Amino acid sequence: MADLIERSAELKGELVTFAQSARFDRWLTPLLLEAAGPARQLDEGEAIRVTDHFILRYRLPDGLTVVDRFVAGRKDLTPSDREMLLGWRDPVEGIFEVRRKDGGAVVLLNLVDDLEYRTYSNVGRAAFRGVSKGGFLHTCLVPVQSAGGTWLVSGAMTSYPRSSATEIAQAALQLATHHPELVFRNAEKIEQGWQRMREDRAAFVEFCGDDELILPPAEAEDLLNAYYRHRQEVTVAGQSGHARARRRPGSDVPLFELPSELADSDTVGVIYDQVDGLNFYADYGMLRDLFADPALPGRSQYQDLLRTYLREESITPLPIRRLAAAHPETTDAVFRKLLRRPGFIWSEHGDALLRRRKPWYYESDPRPGVSVIGDRLSELLRAGRR
């Protein structure tokens, strides 16, 4: 282990030098400037985080990372070196609770994915001198591939005392909510997420009458707020009398608001799919009208909207698949006019079209749209409310 850690320090130093060379300046400098903001101020820790993210996860125009380029250009690397470096492309970002110290390592519980990580630093145990049991760390970990189950701190590491538990729990909850892929490193949380999403979708359909709705934005907001209040009332009603007395139904449900690009549209499509989860689509009513009547007057603006749906990476294939399934008699005509391909047949060519326009959607397995937080994070959140 000592040899692996020493070698990781050498490789990381060479990798950072490589990433900060002039060949990558056109990509790294804008990221640093963006993090610095209008005041052009960036502390050392944040600069290290940005640079580390750039090295390990940023995709260059050819789809490769800086690590990929480094490994490809170094013919002197051993198989063990290559294995270690390429493993760093899958780092673990999280907020960790310090469980204990164990020799030169610390055992950390990631509050985001609820997994433990036995962690070393390539600068030695001195890196953990100010770290104590029950405290917290915000950092990124990379695997030591040749020694399964062991990890290294990568980039900046910020420590917090045990007394910061309430603020730390909220920060971990935000990270889990905004980046559910971090939660789903834990396979158990994936299955729990699917189960929770199935339950929530069934409740949504029962409350709203369907899994697909087209509404004016204001009505969509009102309906979602009513639904969330209803769900909380059901949850509170199922709790013990003591817990129920502490909570007034509806009092702590956050107000649901559509983002501006949806709030300014004529209609909003609300689809709660069994795989893609709950999603919202701007001007979905216009798109439905196009599929219902491909020859409608002034159809160019409708076709422009369909082009947007095909082009935007923020839109999955779901709405187009839904409309094609709902209008099998007219879908071929819609795409023949849009693509100027008289021989286009949706049943034969539709899947290939979506895979070509939205390759990112098919590159990984689907994940549930509901994040399930771990037991320890739940405990910290409950303690914070008390």
pLDDT tens digit sequence for 204-231: 999 999 999 999 999 999 999 999 999 8
Mapped onto helix, strand or coil, the DSSP state of residue 8 is helix
Asked if 71 and 17 sit in the same domain, the reply is yes
Which of 123-132, 266-275, 317-326, 354-363 has the least mean pLDDT? 123-132
Asked if 7 and 59 sit in the same domain, the reply is yes
Domain that holds residue 115: 92-183
Segment 7-17 shows an average pLDDT of: 94
384 within a domain of the structure (yes/no): no
**How many CA atoms within 13 Å lie on the side-chain side of 285?**
11
Asked if 203 and 302 sit in the same domain, the reply is yes
Quick one: 305 exposed, middle or buried, by C-beta within 10 A (0-12, 13-18, 19+)?
middle
Which CATH number covers residue 118? 2.40.50.140
Separation CA 11–CA 66 (nearest Å):
13
Asked if 309 and 208 sit in the same domain, the reply is yes
Find the angle CA(74)-CA(80)-CA(84) to the nearest 5 degrees.
Answer: 80
Asked if 177 and 160 sit in the same domain, the reply is yes
Listed residues 26, 61, 87: the one ending a domain:
87
* Residue 308: other Cβ atoms inside 10 A: 13
Asked if 203 and 328 sit in the same domain, the reply is yes
Which of 7-11, 119-123, 168-172, 254-258 has the least mean pLDDT? 254-258
378 within a domain of the structure (yes/no): no
pLDDT at 250: 47
What's the pLDDT tens digit per position in 276-295?
999 999 999 999 999 999 98
Q: Is the pLDDT of residue 77 over 50?
A: yes
Separation CA 355–CA 247 (nearest Å):
47
238 within a domain of the structure (yes/no): no
Segment 348-353 shows an average pLDDT of: 97
At 372, the amino acid letter reads V
Q: Is the pLDDT of residue 169 over 80?
A: yes
Asked if 345 and 284 sit in the same domain, the reply is yes
Q: How confident is the model at residue 147 (pLDDT cuts 50, 70, 90)?
A: low
Asked if 146 and 293 sit in the same domain, the reply is no
How far from 331 is each of 74, 192, 268, CA to CA, in Å?
Answer: 52, 37, 21
Asked if 64 and 13 sit in the same domain, the reply is yes
Mapped onto helix, strand or coil, the DSSP state of residue 259 is coil
239 within a domain of the structure (yes/no): no
Contact 82, 119 (CB under 8 A): no
* Residue 285: other Cβ atoms inside 10 A: 17
What's the pLDDT tens digit per position in 354-385?
999 999 999 888 989 888 889 999 999 988 87
204 within a domain of the structure (yes/no): yes
Asked if 69 and 165 sit in the same domain, the reply is no
Say how many domains are in the chain.
3
* Residues facing 101 on adjacent strands: 106
pLDDT at 249: 47
Mapped onto helix, strand or coil, the DSSP state of residue 137 is strand
Asked if 179 and 76 sit in the same domain, the reply is no
Asked if 171 and 305 sit in the same domain, the reply is no
Find the angle CA(360)-CA(366)-CA(370) to the nearest 5 degrees.
Answer: 120
